[in-house]
Amino acid sequence: MSENTSNAAQKKNNKSTIIIALLSVIVIIQVVKIYLDYQEKSEIQAQLNTTEEELAATMQRMEELKVELAKKIEEVQKLGGDVADLQKAKAEIEEQLRRRTQASGKLIKELKDKVEGYELLLKNKDEEIERLKNVNKALLNENVTLKTQKNQLGDSINRLAQKREELASKVALASRLKAENLRIVALNERGKEREQPFRARQIAQLKIEFNLAENNVAPIEGKKIMIRIVDENGQVLFDVTRGSGTFIYNGREEFYTQAQEILFDNTRQKLTYIYDKGSDYAPGTYTLEIYCDDYLMGSGKFVVK
């Protein structure tokens, strides 16, 4: 009986040992599982933190790119370049920045690819801007050259016009007719000529003769040749019934005593005026002036006693 009791105790001890061993294994397995779960969660959290940081950095870069694109658009517009692609890229970035997105590896890759594309676009635009600057510089230089040439041409035209005016003025002066070989005599009632000084009672008429000097510059054309007889008081002998009239001289209307319409033919033609005053001449010195158009051709004097 003692042996049976000993065997039973032995079996009970063996069973307890097995149960303890099984419980120990289960505990160890649970501890390992808890550790592995913790490690997995730590790794996942680390990955999430990294992804969030990458997303934040990428979005920050997009903010920077938006500002750079705005500056490039303004710069290219000033240079006259095409900004359609820049405006499109800027609109895409603004749309992406407005979205509330959850961080993921796929999203970040897509955003990074877009960022690289935008950076490449900016780089290409820098090259285009440099090209446009060179073109604008060349156009500016060309414009300056053209303006200089235009100014020089304008100066040349002005000088030419001035020379033309000077030449025209010289030609006008050179084409003026001149009276030469002026002769003033008195005619009595029988037509006999008397040289001055004249006696008032001997002057029935005045006879004025002169030649038109040769002038190869003056055109062959009709001319009105006027004479003025002016007394010592500056009064012009004037009588409309005896052929007197008016003309413009130095911007003023003046009287003339007598006139003739002729055709100037540059043959040194001789003109004769017979003037009948119709009354006696007062004693004194008279001035005879000869005009054509608005200039003085010649002058002389005669004395009446």
pLDDT tens by residue, 16-27: 777 777 777 787
User: What's the average model confidence in pLDDT over 252-267?
Assistant: 96
State residue 221's pLDDT score.
Answer: 95
**CB proximity list for 70: less than 8 A, separation 6 or greater:** 90
- In angstroms, the CA 147 to CA 176 distance is 43
Mean pLDDT of 244-263: 96
146 within domain boundaries: no
Residue 159, domain member (yes or no): no
**Is residue 142 included in any domain, yes or no?**
no
Comparing 115-129, 173-187, 191-205, 264-278, the range with the smallest average pLDDT is 115-129
Please give the residue that has the higher pLDDT: either 104 or 141: 141
Q: What is the pLDDT of residue 4?
A: 61
> To the nearest whole percent, how much of the chain has pLDDT over 70?
87
Question: What percent of the chain has a predicted confidence (pLDDT) above 90?
Answer: 41
285 is written with which tokens?
Answer: 């010195």
The average pLDDT across 193-201 equals: 93
This model's pTM is above 0.75 = no
| 128 assigned to some structural domain | no
CATH code, 226: 2.60.40.10
Residue 153 in any domain: the answer is no
Rounded mean pLDDT of 165-171?
75
Instruction: List the domain range (segments joined by +) for residue 291.
Output: 179-304
Q: How far apart are CA 119 and CA 148, in angstroms?
A: 43
Sign of CA dihedral 232, 235, 236, 240: negative
In a domain, 155, yes or no: no
Is pLDDT larger for residue 225 or for residue 17? 225
Has residue 101 been placed in a domain?
no
Based on C-alpha coordinates, what's the Rg of the chain?
A: 61
Does residue 228 sit within a domain?
A: yes
CA distances from 267 to 213, 222, 263 (A): 8, 14, 11
Domains contained in the chain, number:
1
